[in-house]
Amino acid sequence: MRVPFDMLLGALKQSAGARRDAAASIRVAVYVDAGASSFLIETVRDAFVPQTTNGLVRVAPLEMRPTQPKADTDIILVVTSGSDIVQAAVQELVISGAPVVVLAESSVEVPFIERDTPMLGLICATEADHLLDSLASWILSRTEKADAFAANFTFMRSAVTNEIVRSAAVTNAVTGAFMFIPGANYPVMTVAQAGMALRLASIHGYKIAPERVYEVAGVAVAGLVFRGAARAMTQRLPKCAFLIRGGVGGLGTLAMGVALNAAYERGIDYAPLNQWVGSVASKLKGATAASAQ
């Protein structure tokens, strides 16, 4: 089957959108109670170091009537180990309009928060990984700037990338299972996979560059391999074609997403490949010039 380069071009155009989403401005307000433990303070301090110039963290002491966060604030963190002013201060912050999450070591320290709401949450932990994993999930469920949060704060990346890969895998599982026109599902699934790759690249700080073409081309080739495998299996088990197409579409996309994310995390050096492509292009240009003489 001919690789749908017109659709791949459309997928590449998604790169601008993915980069724009990752470059959205992020504003976090952090209020620190006087009695907050060093564990909580150090964990939040180390986690909230913006990786781009579009991220900004504002820190202020927690008071009975705290300074109201600015209107552009995306989320509000209250770091406390429990004090007489926490409840009144949190109530003041909640009415500001941005979601508020209280970070403590024990729920006993913050007894007035009995359950999570869309505007108020409580995360209790005495171990940094657990605290940050819970916080990442909480933020992800309350923001439309997931890509920007992941681009700025590395502790957010696992939750956001998992959601991106899961969403693409589910989409392609459904496409593979329910699109019955021969060959029609491949372009649709390829675009979904390319969009996934471009979002992952943007989250990890990769800019719009010619190198993205390599990744989209790799996605297209991998898609052809998965498609061939699905065809071979459905010919042997035609009664299970529905399950096979959906399974290969979903699991193939999942595997592709995991592999891409791992590569982006480690860092990709395209210098050798760029040099080889340049060399081939030069030889082809020379051969063309020679044949024209």
**Would you state the pLDDT for residue 228?**
80
**Would you state the pLDDT for residue 145?**
93
Give 1's pLDDT tier (boundaries 50, 70, 90): very low
HSE (CB half, 13 Å, CA atoms) of 185? 25
Whether pLDDT at 252 is above 90: no
Whether pLDDT at 142 is above 70: yes
**Would you state the pLDDT for residue 2?**
45
Token pair, residue 286, equals 């020379």
Q: How many CB atoms are closer than 10 A to CB 121?
A: 21
Whether pLDDT at 121 is above 90: yes
Q: What is the pTM of this model?
A: 0.78
**In sequence order, what are the beta bridge partners of 120?**
100
**Would you state the pLDDT for residue 179?**
63
Inter-CA distances, 153 with 132, 135, 183, 267, Å: 11, 12, 40, 17
Token pair, residue 124, equals 């209790």
Question: 30: helix, coil or strand?
Answer: strand
Mean pLDDT is lowest, of 101-115, 158-172, 194-208, for 194-208
CA distance 249 to 240: 14
Q: How far apart are the first and last CA of the chain?
A: 36
**In sequence order, what are the beta bridge partners of 102?**
78, 122
- What average pLDDT does range 266-287 have in this prediction? 67
DSSP letters for 147-185: HHHHHH-GGGHHHHHHHHHHHHHHHHHHHHHH--STTTH
């957010």: which residue's tokens?
Answer: 156
Mean pLDDT is lowest, of 71-75, 168-172, 206-210, 230-234, for 206-210
Whether pLDDT at 238 is above 60: yes
- What average pLDDT does range 33-48 have in this prediction? 95
Token pair, residue 173, equals 């599982």
Give 17's pLDDT tier (boundaries 50, 70, 90): low
- What average pLDDT does range 217-227 have in this prediction? 80
Give 197's pLDDT tier (boundaries 50, 70, 90): confident
Inter-CA distances, 116 with 10, 123, 124, 230, 247, Å: 41, 9, 12, 44, 36
Mean pLDDT is lowest, of 40-44, 149-153, 228-232, for 228-232
Give 105's pLDDT tier (boundaries 50, 70, 90): very high
Gyration radius of the chain over CA positions = 24
Higher pLDDT, 84 or 13: 84
